[in-house]
C-alpha cells in the first residue's frame, strides 16, 4: 500500500525553534547512546539533565513541604531523584523514600535500573511493590518504587504513611485515578506530618494549578495555629531537557487501518532511512500482537527485512521480555518496539530515532446515565502527540510519522486529555476512600472533582453489593472484607459469596484469571487455530467456566510451557494466574473464607459471579437475529465479544465482566445466569418494577 507523507507546518508553542515542522528540544549536551559500556554508570548519571539540578532539588526538598518538578521525559527524574535523596540522608534512621508510578511495568523497570546503578541487588536496598508482587525487605529497603494504587492500600494499615520521609508522586501529568486520590490524601497527611516531604513530578503539567492545589493547606494550617515550618508554599522547579530536532511528517490522506499503515511505515523507514531504532505507538495487546506478527512474517523470507528485531511493549510482559526492550541493538540490526502509551512518558528507550504515532490509545469512558464503562480506542490529545514525537529526539535528530493528516491534528485533536477521574466508574475509588475513613466523599478535596452523579451511582452500587449501609458507612463484616481484598469490589464480593456457596476454590481461579489481561496467546496470523484451541476448553456456561477447564488442563500438564504453546495459551499469564491465586487464597484465609470446591456444580459458581456482577446483567433481544443484548438496568445495546466462547451461542441471560467498545459495545468474559438470581442477590438494585417482564 502506498502512503504519501507531507512534512508538518505547525509551529509548536513552547519548543519552537523558528522553523516550521520541526520540534526543537534544547540541546546542550552531545550525547552518546548509553549502554555501550564506554562510560561508567556514574558518568552516565552525570550526563542526565537533572544532575545539574541536584543541589537545587535537595535544597528545595529540605525547605519546602511540597516541590513540583517538571522535566522532559528522559531527563532522569525517576531514576535519579530518589538516589539524590538517599545520598543526602533522607533514608537514614530506617526511613524510606517512596516513588510512585501509575504503571506496574514502569515500577519494575525503573526499580531494576536504579538497583543496577546503585550496584545493589533488587529487593534489598532498592525494591518495588506492585499488586500481588512485593520485592522489598522491610528491614533493609530504603528506596521503594510502587504503584500509586499500592501506596493507597498501604494507607489502610498506616494512615499517615509514617515510614516514609519523602514521597515522590511521579508521572503526575497522567492524572490516573489513583494519582489524583493520592494527591488529595497526601495533602491531608501533610497537615499532620510537617516532617513529610512531597515531590510531584511530571513531564508536562500545569505546574501552577498543582501548586495552587497544594497551597490551600497553608491557610488551614495557619488557622489551626500549627508551625509554618517548612514552607508550605510549594516550590516549582523546571528541569531543562536535552534532545534533538524531530521532523514531523503527516499522512496526506487519512487511513482506516492504522495497524497496516504502521507496518508499511516501518518497512519503508527500514528501506530508506539510515540506522536507528523505531518506536511505534499502537493501543493495546491485540493490535500490537497483530503488528508484530505481520512484521515477523515479512521478515521470514527477506534478508533485508530480517534485520528487524520486532518487540512488543505492554503491561504484563515478563522480566525477560522487558530486558530485551532495554538491551542495546546489535550491530547491523534495527529494533522495532511496538508499544502502548507506556513508552510515551513512563519509560525511555535509548536508541530511538524514528517514531510512528497511530494517534490513538485505549481509554476508559464511563457514562453515569447508562451506567456503562468501557475501554475505547480513542484519539489522543495534542499534548500526547507531542510527547510521542519527542521520543525520537533522544540520541540524535529524528523523525516522527503521524498516521493522520495535519488538518486532523490542528482542527480535531483535543488539546489536553481528560483526567481519568472524570471518565471512570468510581466504585473502587469510593470504597477505598470509605475504608480510609473519608466519610464525606462529595466534599473531598480533589485535584479535579468528579461529577456528583458518578459518585451517587458508585454509592448505589456499593449499597446494593452490601458494602455500604443506609448511612453510607462500610458494613461489618462484608464492607470491610471487600475493601481488604485488593481487587475491584465486584470481584471481591464474588469471592465472599463463593465462601457461602461452597465454590471458593473455583472462584479463586476465576478471580485470578479476570485480574490478568488475557490467558490466550492471541495473534492475528493464527486466528483460526486460536479459535479451535479455545473450543477445546469451551464450556456451555461461558467463559468463566472455560477458564476452569484451562486451569485444570494446565495443572494436569504439570504446568508445562509446551502444553500452553500447543493450546494457544499464554504461559507467562498462566504462571501469573498461579501466583495471584495463591495470594488470594492467603487473603481469603485471613478473612476466614472457607476454601471449598463445588466439584463442578456450575450453578454455585455462576451464582457467585452474579453476586458480584449483577449490575452487568443483560438479556438478549427477543427478535434480534444479530445477537443484540440489552443491559437490564440501562437498556443499552451490547453484544458478545468474538473472543468469548458464547459468541454466536447467544444464551438468553448473561452477566459480563467488562465492556470494550469498537464499532459496538462488546461484552468480554460472559457467563450464563438464571434471571431469578438477580432479585435474589441484589433486590435493591433490581426493584421488582424493572424485572416485571422477567420470566420466573
Residues that bind Mg ion (CB under 5 A): 78
Using the rule CB under 6 A, is 75 a contact of ligand CDP? yes
Smallest distance from the beta carbon of 294 to ligand CDP, in angstroms? 28
Among 74, 82, 184, 390, binds ligand CDP (CB under 6 A): 74
Cβ atoms of 657 and 668 within 8 Å: the answer is: yes
Using the rule CB under 6 A, is 48 a contact of ligand CDP? yes
Q: Which does 326 bind (CB under 5 to 8 A by kind): ligand CDP, Mg ion, none?
A: ligand CDP
Q: Which stretch binds ligand CDP (CB under 6 A): 68-76, 222-230, 534-542, 641-649?
A: 68-76
Tell me which residue of 407, 358, 145 sits closest to 257, measured CA to CA. 358
Cβ atoms of 497 and 504 within 8 Å: the answer is: no
Using the rule CB under 6 A, is 284 a contact of ligand CDP? no
Exposure class string for 304-314: b at 16+ Cβ within 10 A, else e? ebeebbbbbbb
Q: Which stretch binds ligand CDP (CB under 6 A): 71-79, 177-185, 430-438, 517-525?
A: 71-79
Smallest distance from the beta carbon of 142 to Mg ion, in angstroms? 20
Using the rule CB under 6 A, is 113 a contact of ligand CDP? yes
- Dihedral, CA atoms, 86, 92, 94, 100, nearest 10 degrees? -30
> Is 166 strand, coil or helix?
strand
The radius of gyration of the chain's CA atoms, rounded to the nearest angstrom, is 26
Q: Which stretch binds ligand CDP (CB under 6 A): 20-28, 108-116, 436-444, 445-453?
A: 108-116
Total residues interacting with ligand CDP, rule: CB under 6 A: 17
CB neighbour list of residue 179: distance below 8 Å, 6 or more residues apart = 100, 102, 148, 169, 171, 172
Using the rule CB under 6 A, is 110 a contact of ligand CDP? yes
Cβ atoms of 288 and 360 within 8 Å: the answer is: no
Exposure class string for 613-626: b at 16+ Cβ within 10 A, else e? bbbbbbbbeeeeee
Smallest distance from the beta carbon of 576 to ligand CDP, in angstroms? 21
User: What is the C-alpha to C-alpha distance for residues 380 and 408, in angstroms, rounded to an integer?
Assistant: 12
Using the rule CB under 6 A, is 78 a contact of ligand CDP? yes
Using the rule CB under 6 A, is 71 a contact of ligand CDP? yes
User: What is the C-alpha to C-alpha distance for residues 447 and 681, in angstroms, rounded to an integer?
Assistant: 36
Smallest distance from the beta carbon of 413 to Mg ion, in angstroms? 24
Smallest distance from the beta carbon of 99 to Mg ion, in angstroms? 9
Q: Which does 486 bind (CB under 5 to 8 A by kind): Mg ion, ligand CDP, none?
A: none
Using the rule CB under 6 A, is 79 a contact of ligand CDP? yes
- Residues 290-329 as x/- pattern, contact with ligand CDP by CB under 6 A: ------------------------------------x---
Pairing of strands 360-367, 372-379: antiparallel
Using the rule CB under 6 A, is 155 a contact of ligand CDP? no
Using the rule CB under 6 A, is 76 a contact of ligand CDP? yes
Q: Which stretch binds ligand CDP (CB under 6 A): 77-85, 180-188, 336-344, 474-482?
A: 77-85
- Cα dihedral sign for 401, 406, 410, 412? negative
Smallest distance from the beta carbon of 326 to ligand CDP, in angstroms? 5
Among 70, 109, 181, 564, binds ligand CDP (CB under 6 A): 109
Using the rule CB under 6 A, is 77 a contact of ligand CDP? yes
Cβ atoms of 245 and 397 within 8 Å: the answer is: yes
Tell me which residue of 414, 387, 381, 360 sits closest to 204, measured CA to CA. 387
Residues that bind ligand CDP (CB under 6 A): 34, 48, 71, 73-80, 109-110, 113, 326, 348, 350
Amino acid at each position: 500500500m502506498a502512503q504519501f507523507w507531507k512534512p508538518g507546518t505547525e509551529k509548536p508553542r513552547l519548543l519552537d525553534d523558528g522553523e516550521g515542522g520541526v520540534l526543537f528540544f534544547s540541546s546542550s549536551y552531545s550525547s552518546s547512546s548509553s549502554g555501550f559500556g564506554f562510560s561508567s554508570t556514574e558518568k552516565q548519571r552525570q550526563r542526565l539533565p537533572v544532575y545539574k539540578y541536584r543541589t537545587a532539588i535537595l535544597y528545595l526538598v529540605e525547605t519546602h513541604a511540597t516541590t513540583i518538578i517538571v522535566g522532559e521525559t528522559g531527563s532522569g527524574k525517576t531514576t535519579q531523584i530518589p538516589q539524590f535523596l538517599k545520598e543526602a540522608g533522607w533514608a537514614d534512621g530506617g526511613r524510606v523514600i517512596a516513588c510512585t508510578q501509575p504503571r506496574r511495568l514502569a515500577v519494575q523497570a525503573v526499580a531494576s535500573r536504579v538497583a543496577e546503578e546503585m550496584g545493589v541487588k533488587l529487593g534489598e536496598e532498592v525494591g518495588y511493590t506492585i499488586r500481588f508482587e512485593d520485592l522489598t525487605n522491610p528491614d533493609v529497603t530504603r528506596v521503594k518504587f510502587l504503584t500509586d494504587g499500592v501506596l493507597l492500600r498501604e494507607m489502610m494499615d498506616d494512615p499517615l504513611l509514617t515510614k516514609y520521609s519523602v514521597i515522590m508522586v511521579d508521572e503526575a501529568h497522567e492524572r490516573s485515578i489513583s494519582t489524583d486520590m493520592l494527591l488529595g490524601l497526601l495533602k491531608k497527611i501533610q497537615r499532620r506530618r510537617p516532617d513529610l516531604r512531597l515531590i510531584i513530578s511530571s513531564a508536562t503539567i500545569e505546574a501552577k494549578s498543582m501548586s495552587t492545589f497544594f497551597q490551600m493547606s497553608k491557610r488551614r494550617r495557619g488557622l489551626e495555629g500549627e508551625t509554618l515550618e517548612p514552607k508550605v508554599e510549594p516550590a516549582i522547579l523546571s528541569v531543562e531537557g536535552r534532545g534533538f530536532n524531530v521532523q514531523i511528517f503527516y499522512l496526506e490522506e487519512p487511513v482506516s487501518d492504522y495497524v497496516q499503515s504502521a507496518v508499511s511505515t516501518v518497512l519503508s523507514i527500514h528501506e530508506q532511512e539510515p540506522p536507528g531504532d523505531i518506536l511505534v505507538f499502537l493501543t493495546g495487546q491485540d493490535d500490537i500482537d497483530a503488528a508484530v506478527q505481520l512484521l515477523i512474517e515479512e521478515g521470514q523470507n527477506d534478508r533485508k527485512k530480517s534485520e528487524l528485531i520486532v518487540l512488543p511493549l505492554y503491561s504484563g510482559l515478563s522480566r525477560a521480555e522487558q530486558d530485551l526492550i532495554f538491551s542495546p541493538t546489535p550491530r547491523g540490526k534495527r529494533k522495532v518496539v511496538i508499544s502502548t502509551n507506556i513508552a510515551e512518558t513512563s519509560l525511555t528507550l535509548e536508541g530511538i530515532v524514528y517514531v510512528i504515532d497511530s494517534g490513538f490509545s485505549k481509554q476508559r469512558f464511563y457514562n453515569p446515565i447508562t451506567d456503562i464503562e468501557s475501554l475505547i480506542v480513542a484519539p489522543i490529545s495534542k499534548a500526547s502527540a507531542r510527547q510521542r514525537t519527542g521520543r525520537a529526539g533522544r540520541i540524535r535528530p529524528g523523525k516522527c510519522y503521524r498516521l493522520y493528516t495535519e488538518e486532523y491534528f490542528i482542527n480535531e485533536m483535543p488539546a489536553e486529555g481528560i483526567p481519568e477521574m472524570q471518565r471512570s466508574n468510581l466504585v473502587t475509588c469510593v470504597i477505598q476512600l470509605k475504608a480510609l475513613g473519608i466519610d464525606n466523599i462529595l466534599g473531598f478535596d480533589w485535584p479535579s472533582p468528579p461529577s456528583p452523579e458518578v459518585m451517587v451511582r458508585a454509592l448505589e452500587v456499593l449499597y446494593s453489593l452490601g458494602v455500604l449501609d443506609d448511612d453510607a458507612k462500610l458494613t461489618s463484616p462484608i464492607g470491610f472484607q471487600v475493601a481488604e481484598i485488593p481487587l475491584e469490589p465486584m470481584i471481591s464480593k464474588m469471592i465472599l459469596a463463593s465462601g457461602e456457596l461452597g465454590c471458593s476454590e473455583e472462584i479463586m481461579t476465576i478471580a485470578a484469571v479476570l485480574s490478568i489481561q488475557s490467558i490466550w496467546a492471541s495473534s492475528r496470523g493464527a486466528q483460526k487455530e486460536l479459535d479451535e484451541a479455545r473450543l477445546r476448553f469451551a464450556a456451555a456456561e461461558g467463559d468463566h467456566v472455560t477458564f476452569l477447564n484451562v486451569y485444570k488442563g494446565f495443572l494436569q500438564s504439570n504446568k508445562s510451557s509446551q502444553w500452553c504453546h500447543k493450546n494457544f495459551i499464554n504461559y507467562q499469564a498462566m504462571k501469573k494466574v498461579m501466583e495471584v491465586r495463591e495470594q488470594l487464597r492467603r487473603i481469603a484465609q485471613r478473612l476466614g473464607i472457607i476454601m471449598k470446591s463445588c466439584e463442578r456444580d456450575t450453578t454455585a459458581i455462576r451464582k457467585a459471579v452474579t453476586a458480584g456482577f449483577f449490575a452487568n446483567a443483560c438479556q438478549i433481544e427477543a427478535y434480534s437475529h444479530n445477537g443484540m443484548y440489552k443491559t437490564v438496568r440501562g437498556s443499552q445495546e451490547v453484544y458478545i465479544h468474538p473472543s468469548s466462547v458464547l459468541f454466536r451461542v447467544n444464551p438468553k441471560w448473561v452477566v459480563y465482566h467488562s465492556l470494550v467498545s469498537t464499532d459496538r459495545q462488546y461484552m468480554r468474559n460472559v457467563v450464563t445466569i438464571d434471571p431469578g438470581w438477580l432479585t435474589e442477590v441484589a433486590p435493591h438494585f433490581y426493584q421488582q418494577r424493572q424485572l416485571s417482564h422477567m420470566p420466573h
